[in-house]
């Protein structure tokens, strides 16, 4: 009967939905139910029919419960890779002590011939490094800097170091070489050896030649692979490597502690997967780091004092054996290397401004059989692996990082790993001039008179009335300038608010090219300026500052910045009018003036000589520009504050230990302070 059609259909649909959604399809059951419903509605409902209907519902549920739904995630899943232009394999490679390291191997699918292996060992997650974006194309999954490896057909390998991410074993921060600081049977050099040995024996279609490349921590790992290297290792490219954690890389610079690194130590060593960032509840790092007495108190407050590596940092503030015996340049010095090396240095490296040049020099000293090449580019830390067109306010006129990778790095690698013929005219040293915005070439670094390419270093003197020039002040000139350094109001290292280095939107990578004008006028910063230049002045090498200074305290920090002051108006880049670009800057801690390993108090009011080797420069001061030097005693919170009163270990300083001091910089007679500028004459480039 037509009148019953609608409820009948509704009932049937309901039954159908229940069966489809919740239970296995059972057409017989469905038909049975529909028949009973038809009986209910069409043939006169009986109590028996309803009971039957109800029991069938129950029964249908019971049937499904007997066969529970399977896990939607399979035990393991192998993507359908047949159409990809590469194969992705994962291996747990056994080391000599049985620990297995997680390794990702990406092989181009149709290799025309056996190809070399390019290895990166990392504490930063081999999985994410080998899968930039999900794609069927090798060039897309690899980091941007690896684009040319993909087109050259290299086999690309990423490995988690011991104790990080998917690798087994224990993590030790920049694990020292086996010996006095490491009593185990393994270190990063043996792990590199064992890995390379396994790769050349197990990866199909490899040509028996391996290269290792990596940035920063990975750069340190690329250097460690050079110590007793595996014979298949043919080339190493350490980029901005961490080399000496006390003299000038991540942890200290000449004894001044880089306290912002607490975030790094926390993130890297609280968990194996580095998934616990340090949140401190401050927008401005300046306020955060000023909120405690010393860095030790801060470490206690956030729990970092329970982290073994943080404890080591606070127990080794001086350059004792802990630091000197693990400095990678020292470990490499004197070793005869057959492996070709290319050290890559960033001229605005906010993290490791010491390592690449120091390692290059150490390898050069050994005068070994391999070729040793140095590249210095206009980059922040790791920027040679990204886009190198600009940094902060500075635009370099082309993508300098891409140029480095395609015109310098790849031909060098192809030559060593593929016997590529091509143009082999790669200069031993290639340096970007950050003043002229052009690449220059040298035979050695620093360019030296012995190979006929450097002038005498030029002495740039601090002169009376805050002037700067190449003539030595007279003995009769005013003897000093002074300022009061107050640790309660330290000089910020950049304009506040200073975002934590890993915060979203942080511009940490640009801070070395920040305009220094906001600091020139502070009463606790001495600023010396030259006349306008009438001819270009080209510098290439490491400036050395010699300060004659005294303090009313018993310890003091000394910061020296070498600055290029731009003309007041810039036609092409208006934002650079009057800009004060820091081309090199460094800090030293007074207590280490006589010995890096045995600190001593500074005698109050006595003049001492402080020599500060500054990070490498490759720069032309152009006509119309002026030179500037700034001197100050705090640089906060990049560096911890010196209490300015001698206490044994500054990590233990309390709020009341910090005192104001009057600092004097001497500038005449026997105490004329000066900077040795590595001036390069025009004929050399």
If binding is defined by CB under 6 A, does position 508 make contact with ligand PG9? no
Sign of the CA dihedral with 613 first, then 617, 619, and 624 last: negative
**Separation between Cα atoms, residue 672 and residue 685, nearest integer Å:** 32
> Measured from the CB of residue 304, what is the shortest distance to ligand PG9 in angstroms?
14
If binding is defined by CB under 6 A, does position 216 make contact with ligand PG9? yes
Residues 161-180: x/- map of binding to ligand PG9 (CB under 6 A)? Answer: -------------x------
If binding is defined by CB under 6 A, does position 509 make contact with ligand PG9? no
Q: At what angle do helices 27-42 and 47-66 cross, to 10 degrees?
A: 160
> Measured from the CB of residue 352, what is the shortest distance to ligand PG9 in angstroms?
6
If binding is defined by CB under 6 A, does position 264 make contact with ligand PG9? yes
Element (H, E) at 129: helix 126-129
> Measured from the CB of residue 347, what is the shortest distance to ligand PG9 in angstroms?
16
If binding is defined by CB under 6 A, does position 250 make contact with ligand PG9? yes
Query: Which residue, 545 or 585, has its beta carbon nearer to ligand PG9?
Result: 585
Q: Find the binder of ligand PG9 among 192, 242, 327, 672 (CB under 6 A).
A: 242
Contacts of 616 (CB under 8 A, 6+ apart): 345, 347, 353, 357, 376, 445, 446, 541, 542, 584
> Measured from the CB of residue 479, what is the shortest distance to ligand PG9 in angstroms?
41
> Measured from the CB of residue 138, what is the shortest distance to ligand PG9 in angstroms?
25
> Measured from the CB of residue 226, what is the shortest distance to ligand PG9 in angstroms?
17
Element (H, E) at 402: helix 400-403
Query: Which residue, 86 or 158, has its beta carbon nearer to ligand PG9?
Result: 158
Taking CB under 6 A as the binding criterion, the range among 105-113, 216-224, 275-283, 454-462 that sits at the site for ligand PG9 is 216-224
Chain positions 441 to 470 lying near ligand PG9, rule: CB under 6 A, are: none
On whether the CB atoms of residues 188 and 155 are closer than 8 A, the answer is: no
Structure tokens at 21: 């959604």
The separation between CA 186 and the C-alpha centre of its own chain, rounded to angstroms, equals 25
Chain positions 350 to 379 lying near ligand PG9, rule: CB under 6 A, are: 351-352
> Measured from the CB of residue 309, what is the shortest distance to ligand PG9 in angstroms?
10
The separation between CA 26 and the C-alpha centre of its own chain, rounded to angstroms, equals 61
If binding is defined by CB under 6 A, does position 160 make contact with ligand PG9? no
Query: Which residue, 220 or 323, has its beta carbon nearer to ligand PG9?
Result: 220
Question: Within 13 Å of residue 193, how many CA atoms lie on the same side as its CB?
Answer: 14
> Measured from the CB of residue 250, what is the shortest distance to ligand PG9 in angstroms?
4
Chain positions 414 to 433 lying near ligand PG9, rule: CB under 6 A, are: none
- The closest alpha carbon to 667, from 659, 678, 675, belongs to 675
Q: How far apart are the first and last CA of the chain?
A: 102
On whether the CB atoms of residues 429 and 445 are closer than 8 A, the answer is: yes
If binding is defined by CB under 6 A, does position 676 make contact with ligand PG9? no
On whether the CB atoms of residues 177 and 225 are closer than 8 A, the answer is: no
Contacts of 68 (CB under 8 A, 6+ apart): none
- Which residue is at the shortest CB distance from ligand PG9? 216
Binding site for ligand PG9 (CB under 6 A): 174, 216-217, 220, 242, 250, 264, 351-352
């Amino acid at each position: 009967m037509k009148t019953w059609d609608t409820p009948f259909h509704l009932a049937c649909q309901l039954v159908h939905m229940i069966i489809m959604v919740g239970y296995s399809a059972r057409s017989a059951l469905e038909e049975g139910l529909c028949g009973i419903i038809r009986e209910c509605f069409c043939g006169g409902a009986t109590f028996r029919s309803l009971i039957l209907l109800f029991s069938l519902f129950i029964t249908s549920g019971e049937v499904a419960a007997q066969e529970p739904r399977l896990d939607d995630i399979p035990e393991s899943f192998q993507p359908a890779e047949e159409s990809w232009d590469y194969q992705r394999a994962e291996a747990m490679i056994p080391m000599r002590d049985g620990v297995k390291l997680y390794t990702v191997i990406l092989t181009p699918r149709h290799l025309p011939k056996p190809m070399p292996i390019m290895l990166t060992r990392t504490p930063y997650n081999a999985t994410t490094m080998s899968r930039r974006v999900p794609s069927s194309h090798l060039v897309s999954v690899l980091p941007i800097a690896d684009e040319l490896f993909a087109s050259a057909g290299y086999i690309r390998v990423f490995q988690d170091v011991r104790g990080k991410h998917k690798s087994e074993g224990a993590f030790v921060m920049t694990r020292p070489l086996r010996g006095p600081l490491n009593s185990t049977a393994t270190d990063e050099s043996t792990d590199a050896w064992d890995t390379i040995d396994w790769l050349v024996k197990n990866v199909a279609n490899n040509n028996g030649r391996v290269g290792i490349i990596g940035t920063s921590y990975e750069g340190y790992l690329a250097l460690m692979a050079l110590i007793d290297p595996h014979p298949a290792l043919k080339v190493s490219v350490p980029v901005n490597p961490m080399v000496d954690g006390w003299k000038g890389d991540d942890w200290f610079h000449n004894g001044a502690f880089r306290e912002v690194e607490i975030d790094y130590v926390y993130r890297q060593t609280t968990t194996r997967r580095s998934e616990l960032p340090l949140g401190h509840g401050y927008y401005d790092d300046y306020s955060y780091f000023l909120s405690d007495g010393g860095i030790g108190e801060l470490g206690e407050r956030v729990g970092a004092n329970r982290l073994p590596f943080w404890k080591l940092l606070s127990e080794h503030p001086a350059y004792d054996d802990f630091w000197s015996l693990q400095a990678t340049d020292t470990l490499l010095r004197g070793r005869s290397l057959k492996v070709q090396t290319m050290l890559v240095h960033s001229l605005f490296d906010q993290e490791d401004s010491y390592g690449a040049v120091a390692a290059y020099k150490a390898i050069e000293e050994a005068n070994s059989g391999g070729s040793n090449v140095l590249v210095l580019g206009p980059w922040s830390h790791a920027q040679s692996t990204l886009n190198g067109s600009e940094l902060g306010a500075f635009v370099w006129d082309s993508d300098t990082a891409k140029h480095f990778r395609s015109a310098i790095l790849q031909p060098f690698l192809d030559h060593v790993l593929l016997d590529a013929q091509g143009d082999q005219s790669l200069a031993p040293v290639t340096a970007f001039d950050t003043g002229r915005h052009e690449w220059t070439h040298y035979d050695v670094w620093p360019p030296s008179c012995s190979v006929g390419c450097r002038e005498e270093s030029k002495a740039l003197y601090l002169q009376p009335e805050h002037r700067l020039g190449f003539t030595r002040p007279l003995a009769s000139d005013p003897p000093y300038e002074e300022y009061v350094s107050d640790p309660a109001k330290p000089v910020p290292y950049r304009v506040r608010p200073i975002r934590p280095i890993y915060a979203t939107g942080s511009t940490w990578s640009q801070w070395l090219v920040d305009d220094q004008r906001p600091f020139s006028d502070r009463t606790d910063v001495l600023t010396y300026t030259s006349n306008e230049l009438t001819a270009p002045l080209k510098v290439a090498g490491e400036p050395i500052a010699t300060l004659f200074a005294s303090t009313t305290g018993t310890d003091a920090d000394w910061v020296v910045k070498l600055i290029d002051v731009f003309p007041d108006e810039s036609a092409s880049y208006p934002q650079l009018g009057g800009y004060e670009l820091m081309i090199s800057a460094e800090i030293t801690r007074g207590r280490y003036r006589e010995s890096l390993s045995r600190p001593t108090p500074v005698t109050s009011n006595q003049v001492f000589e402080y020599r500060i080797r500054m990070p490498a420069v490759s720069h032309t001061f152009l006509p119309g520009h002026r030179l500037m030097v700034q001197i100050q005693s705090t640089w906060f919170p990049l560096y911890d504050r010196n209490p300015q009163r001698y206490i044994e270990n500054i990590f233990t300083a309390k709020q009341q230990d910090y005192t104001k001091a009057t600092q004097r910089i001497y500038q005449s007679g026997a105490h004329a302070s000066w900077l040795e500028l590595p001036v390069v004459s025009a004929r050399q480039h």
